[in-house]
Amino acid sequence: MITVYDQEYFQGRRMEFTASCQNIMECGMENIRSLKVECGAWVGYEHSSFCGQQFVLEKGDYPRFEAYSGSNSYRIERMISFRPICYFFFLSFAQNHKDSRMIIFEMENMMGRQFEMCDDYPSLQAMGWFNNEVGSMQIQSGAFVCYQYPGYRGHQYIMECDCRGGEYKCYREFGSHAQTPQIQSIRRIQH
Amino acid sequence: MITVYDQEYFQGRRMEFTASCQNIMECGMENIRSLKVECGAWVGYEHSSFCGQQFVLEKGDYPRFEAYSGSNSYRIERMISFRPICYFFFLSFAQNHKDSRMIIFEMENMMGRQFEMCDDYPSLQAMGWFNNEVGSMQIQSGAFVCYQYPGYRGHQYIMECDCRGGEYKCYREFGSHAQTPQIQSIRRIQH
């Protein structure tokens, strides 16, 4: 469940959601200025219908927009749509994000050098990846969030085994806002 | 080693450092607009002499200021000083960030409920921590970065076993810019 408010610090009008919302304005709310994730993991989007910049929302309190917006390199002012990451709703309590597995590839279409990941990597280069880009990826299990810069900064791309058959064949499939294949940190999304 | 540039995208004047720098302006550089971390893990600071807002810098490319600044909730314009996280220079190649261990406490002075951490936690509440604050902490081994909001967002506080004997007894010891004990995600710093 996710609870959204139209004012900062959990003030003002309040709405609860247990499923995705394609356009918060159609629910009569102008903007979301704070929110609480009570359970599950969610993805927020800049535009309606799950378009534009995306950002992961895990359990916790987000008292101001700056707490949940994705990146400070590209200014976004709103969160208009959001959806749960469904994978986590099918997990038993015994399982968790530790079961996430993916492969990153040097080139598009799962070609070139590859590396299998099942942990969190705040710096791909520190783990031995040879440059600051990822050409394509295959999510075998679970869900990950990939970031443009080291240390989980910059644009976010949420990758799920349940979307596109888990295959992201080139950077244009990473997200509608992706302009380069630059990815320098990757982590599992927490259940 | 860290290489800093006075223009974005690794352009302009260039300087290399293998040890800490207390004031980049005293080295004749007005500002740092891009940087590359070649080895080790470093901490950048907003002001000279390692004061003001702090942000972790792991191996990788940081082409613009927005790529390495700590938080978008509080606008900082500069990185004036930086230092290596020394713990990592004493590790053998066989060891790595997986050896990091810390305990978080509900109240100041290591009192109240506690939890031992040796992994990465993008949401403390998802792992079972009862609220959005941490009263005090004890770093037993390695180094961690604590964040104000879930998903590694907001103000950063770098915590090391080699500083203050690893003891951070109240939120005012978390960093010179800490104004509340609000901490919602914690991760190990990567070697």
Rounded to a whole number of angstroms, the distance from the CA of B150 to the nearest CA of chain A is: 6
By the 8 A CB rule, do A130 and A184 touch? no
Q: Mark whether A27 and A68 lie in a shared domain.
A: yes
Residue B58, both tokens: 């792991």
Does residue B165 lie in a domain region?
A: yes
All residues of chain B having their beta carbon less than 8 Å from the beta carbon of residue A191 are 126
Domain stops at, among B43, B62, B84 = B84
> Given an 8 Å threshold on Cβ–Cβ distance, is A149 in contact with B62?
yes
Residue-number span of the structural domain to which B32 is assigned: 2-84
All residues of chain A having their beta carbon less than 8 Å from the beta carbon of residue B38 are none
Instruction: Specify the DSSP class assigned to residue B174.
Output: T
Q: Mark whether A53 and A112 lie in a shared domain.
A: no
DSSP chain A: -EEEEEEGGGEEEEEEESS-BS-GGGGT-S---EEEE-SS-EEEEEEGGGEEEEEEE-SEEE-SHHHH-S-SSS------EEEE-GGGGGS-TT--GGG-EEEEEEEGGGEEEEEEE-S-BS-HHHHT--SSB--EEEEEESEEEEEEETTTEEEEEEEETTSGGGEE-SGGGT-TT--S-B--EEEEPP-
Rounded to a whole number of angstroms, the distance from the CA of A106 to the nearest CA of chain B is: 17
Over its length of 191 residues, how does chain B's per-residue pLDDT go in tens digits? 999 999 999 999 999 998 889 999 999 999 899 999 998 889 999 899 888 888 999 999 999 887 877 555 456 678 999 998 876 655 544 455 567 899 999 999 999 999 999 889 999 999 899 999 999 999 998 899 999 999 998 889 999 887 888 999 999 999 877 889 999 999 999 76
Rounded to a whole number of angstroms, the distance from the CA of B75 to the nearest CA of chain A is: 10
| Dihedral sign, Cα of residue A126, residue B122, residue A159, residue A173 | negative
Does residue A125 lie in a domain region?
A: yes
All residues of chain A having their beta carbon less than 8 Å from the beta carbon of residue B123 are 37, 58-60, 190
Domain stops at, among B28, B59, B84 = B84
Does residue A121 lie in a domain region?
A: yes
Does residue A92 lie in a domain region?
A: no
Task: Check residue B191 and give its pLDDT.
Answer: 67
> Given an 8 Å threshold on Cβ–Cβ distance, is A152 in contact with B148?
no
Q: Mark whether A115 and A144 lie in a shared domain.
A: yes
Given CB atoms, is A181 within the 8 Å cutoff of chain B? no
> Given an 8 Å threshold on Cβ–Cβ distance, is A66 in contact with B125?
no
The CATH number of whichever domain residue B115 belongs to comes to 2.60.20.10
Q: Mark whether B147 and B69 lie in a shared domain.
A: no
Given CB atoms, is A76 within the 8 Å cutoff of chain B? no
Task: Check residue A87 and give its pLDDT.
Answer: 63
Q: Mark whether B75 and B140 lie in a shared domain.
A: no
- Residues sharing a CB contact under 8 Å with residue B95, sequence separation 6 or more, in sequence order: B191
Residue B49 bridge partners (DSSP): none
Taking CA atoms, A13 is separated from A6, A32, A43, A47, A65, in Å, by 5, 10, 21, 21, 16
Does residue B89 lie in a domain region?
A: no
Q: Mark whether B80 and B161 lie in a shared domain.
A: no
pLDDT digit string, tens, across residues A32-60: 999 999 988 899 998 998 888 889 999 99
Given CB atoms, is A3 within the 8 Å cutoff of chain B? no
Residue A105 bridge partners (DSSP): A114, A136
What count of other Cβ atoms lies within 10 Å of the Cβ of residue B141?
A: 13
Q: Which residue in the set B55, B60, B123 is minimally distant from A190, CB to CB? A: B123
Work out whether strand A51-57 and strand A101-107 pair parallel, antiparallel, or are unpaired: unpaired
Over its length of 191 residues, how does chain A's per-residue pLDDT go in tens digits? 999 999 999 999 999 998 889 999 999 999 899 999 998 889 999 899 888 888 999 999 999 887 877 555 456 678 999 998 876 655 544 455 567 899 999 999 999 999 999 889 999 999 899 999 999 999 998 899 999 999 998 889 999 887 888 999 999 999 877 889 999 999 999 76
> Given an 8 Å threshold on Cβ–Cβ distance, is A149 in contact with B60?
yes
Q: Mark whether A78 and A104 lie in a shared domain.
A: no
All residues of chain B having their beta carbon less than 8 Å from the beta carbon of residue A56 are 151
Work out whether strand B143-149 and strand B167-168 pair parallel, antiparallel, or are unpaired: unpaired
Domain stops at, among B84, B105, B134 = B84
Indicate the number of domains in chain A: 2
Given CB atoms, is A142 within the 8 Å cutoff of chain B? no
Q: Mark whether B122 and B170 lie in a shared domain.
A: yes
Does residue A51 lie in a domain region?
A: yes
Rounded to a whole number of angstroms, the distance from the CA of B149 to the nearest CA of chain A is: 6
Instruction: Pick from A91, A149, A179 the residue to mutate for testing the B interface (most B CBs within 10 Å).
Output: A149
Q: Mark whether A142 and A77 lie in a shared domain.
A: no
All residues of chain B having their beta carbon less than 8 Å from the beta carbon of residue A184 are 60-61
Residue found by looking up tokens 């002012």 in the block: A77
Task: Check residue A94 and give its pLDDT.
Answer: 47
Q: Which residue in the set A60, A145, A184 is minimally distant from B184, CB to CB? A: A60
Q: Mark whether B38 and B78 lie in a shared domain.
A: yes
Tell me the HSE value of B6 on the side-chain side, using a 13 A CA sphere: 11
Given CB atoms, is A123 within the 8 Å cutoff of chain B? yes
DSSP B84-153: E-GGGGGS-TT--GGG-EEEEEEETTTEEEEEEE-S-BS-TTTTT--SSB--EEEEEESEEEEEEETTTE
d(CA A120, CA A171): 21
Does residue A101 lie in a domain region?
A: yes
Q: Mark whether B101 and B184 lie in a shared domain.
A: yes
Does residue B137 lie in a domain region?
A: yes
Q: Mark whether A6 and A58 lie in a shared domain.
A: yes
A positions 38-57 inside 8 Å of B (CB): 55-57
> Given an 8 Å threshold on Cβ–Cβ distance, is B60 in contact with A154?
no
Angle formed at CA A186 by CA B91 and CA A41, multiple of 5 degrees: 125
